[in-house]
């Protein structure tokens, strides 16, 4: 499956992915401080396990960082 994530094309071996599976691949050690939108619609964290992705989706992932 090829997905557009943060304006970059990325290839994944899986035929289907949920939002949570994608985040597990992209951020294996980070599950807090992440916001995700698909096609300009924010997906609540409680829906990550049940939201499936398709190759036409435009995905934006934002991670919180510490700083001053």
User: Where do the domains of the chain lie?
Assistant: 2-63
pLDDT confidence of residue 68: 57
Q: Residues near 37 by Cβ (< 8 Å), separated by ≥ 6?
A: 43, 59, 60
Rounded to two decimals, the pTM is: 0.86
Largest CA distance in the chain: 41
| pLDDT attached to residue 29 | 86
Is the pLDDT at 3 greater than 70? The verdict is yes
Q: Classify domain 2-63 at the CATH class level.
A: alpha beta
The per-residue pLDDT for 66 is 73
Q: According to the model, what pLDDT value does residue 15 have? A: 85
Q: What is the pLDDT of residues 12-61, one digit of tens each?
A: 988 889 999 999 999 888 878 999 999 999 999 999 999 999 998 999 99
């Amino acid at each position: 499956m090829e997905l557009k994530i943060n304006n970059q094309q990325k290839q994944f071996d899986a035929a289907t992915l949920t939002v949570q599976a994608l985040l597990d691949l992209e951020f294996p050690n980070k599950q807090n401080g992440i916001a995700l939108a698909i096609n300009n619609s924010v997906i609540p964290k409680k829906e990550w396990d049940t939201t499936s992705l398709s190759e036409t989706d435009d995905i934006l992932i934002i991670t919180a960082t510490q700083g001053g």
